[in-house]
Amino acid sequence: MSLRAYRASLLWFEPGAHYEEDGLLVVGPNAKGVQVVQAIGSWRSLSPSYCRQPIEHLPGRLIAPGFVDMHVHFPQTNVMGSPAAGLLPWLENYTFPEEQRFESQAYSEEAAGFFLDELLRNGVTTALAFATSHTTSVNALFSQAQARHLRLITGLCLMDRHAPQALLNQPGRTTNAAEQSLIESEALITRWHGKDRLGYAITPRFAPTSTDEQLQAAGELAARYPQTWIQSHVSENKDEIAWARELFPQSKSYLATYADFGLMRERAVYAHCIHFDDDDRALMRETGAVAAISPTSNLFLGSGFFDYAGADRVGFGYGLASDVGGGTSFSPFHTMLAAYYVGREGQSKTGLSLSPQHLWWQHTAGAARALGLEGVVGNLLPGCEADFVVINPKATPLLARKTALAGSLDELLFSMIVLGDDRLIERVVIAHPPTVQSDTTPGAPLS
């Protein structure tokens, strides 16, 4: 077995945060040839066993799991920083016009390459991403991710009403738009799901932009392919909620609309989940659906605050997400800091101080667990795919000054969360699996 070892400070989760100031990380191929973690621990305990292997010494550096982004819009890179009065005007004035450009294959391919390189530059090694309603955008993102050996999940955006005509799913020769969109989705599942490190997500944009027929068909597709993901938006904005309630009055709540159409189960990821009551929270818990918390987007658009205390009290899964382009940065450090603000400002009168270790967990191992990928990505335990970042805590003069004063793991992590950005990420290492054909039978596991 060909192994490689790295000596540095190490951060991983088992399940709480574990820190080794002088550690050794050993990676090598598993039985399938995928690069995975073989051993992790202190230099003193592991070095005798691996002294004959190539060891890269990284003094003053921290190796941590690659970040996991649970919700990001690949077509919205150019939309970042666009001024708007709120969610719905922002969609109409900026997002929808930009997304129409992704009908072009050349535009989609260039944008996909830039988007993925930006994720990597910021230390994100796994992402659940929205594409557009054009198959060209989905194929471009999958192919560019495959070329970079990334673990990426995406799918065709389903919307057959209440959007510009150029963005609606188009009918086929003998099918209406709803039917055709699901035919195209199934063809994309067959082509991409389970191929290398790629996964497919059945993707209604949000309930108001799909007819009952399309949502019903999406739920049926999800039942046929239970190992695919589902992604959508819910309860982000009060105007959006009122609109959804008008369109689906038979449902108990906006969230319950998705359950009514068979779209809530394990591997179902709903972005935002801000304006919930305990019935909604219980529905998330009972179905196994999870929340993608998007704090920079929620603050930027004035949507509200995710209720951490309510989620933990009732008990459902969640993790962090950039939500670019409503989100204002690809950087996980900016996202974690915004989540801290949300905890302080959006909870009880006394505020909730999310610990630095918990914030980091939400963007790595916690997000992986929420996606159903615990033990696969987001951590450095033995058997996990060898996706990791090499962090330089002294990347800027201010960081060097502040991290030198850290007397605990929390102080070190929080200094980087508050003061950090892409400059902290000195290097990104990606697990390179062999190319394998996917098993496209319904329900085939994604290995």
Query: In terms of Cα–Cα distance, which of 216, 300, 220, 226 is closest to 261?
Result: 216
Contact of 88 with 240, CB cutoff 8 Å: yes
Residue 435 lies in a domain: no
Q: Are residues 25 and 80 in the same domain?
A: no
In this prediction the pTM is 0.95
Domain of residue 249, residue span: 67-370
Query: In terms of Cα–Cα distance, which of 318, 317, 311, 275 is closest to 293?
Result: 318
Query: In terms of Cα–Cα distance, which of 302, 303, 293 is closest to 272?
Result: 293
Q: Are residues 222 and 355 in the same domain?
A: yes
- In angstroms, rounded to a whole number, what is the distance separating the alpha carbons of residues 333 and 145? 23
Express each pLDDT in 69-125 by its tens digit: 999 999 999 999 998 787 788 888 999 999 999 999 999 999 999 999 999 999 999
Q: Are residues 321 and 250 in the same domain?
A: yes
Q: Are residues 54 and 197 in the same domain?
A: no
Residue 83: cis peptide before it, omega within 30 degrees of 0: no
String of DSSP letters for 81-114: T---SSHHHHIIIIIHHHHGGGGSHHHHHHHHHH
Query: In terms of Cα–Cα distance, which of 67, 80, 78 is closest to 323?
Result: 80
Q: Please list the ranges in the chain whose pLDDT falls under 50.
A: 435-447
Q: Are residues 48 and 177 in the same domain?
A: no
Rounded (5°) CA angle 248-252-258:
65
Q: Are residues 71 and 55 in the same domain?
A: no
Give the pLDDT confidence score for residue 172 in this predicted structure. Answer: 94
We report the CATH number of the domain holding residue 86 as 3.20.20.140
Q: Are residues 122 and 252 in the same domain?
A: yes
10 three-state secondary structure: strand
Express each pLDDT in 311-355 by its tens digit: 999 999 999 999 999 999 999 999 999 999 999 886 655 578 999
We report the CATH number of the domain holding residue 382 as 2.30.40.10
Residue 441 lies in a domain: no
Give the pLDDT confidence score for residue 446 in this predicted structure. Answer: 43
Total domains, the chain: 2
* Amino acid identity, position 84: A
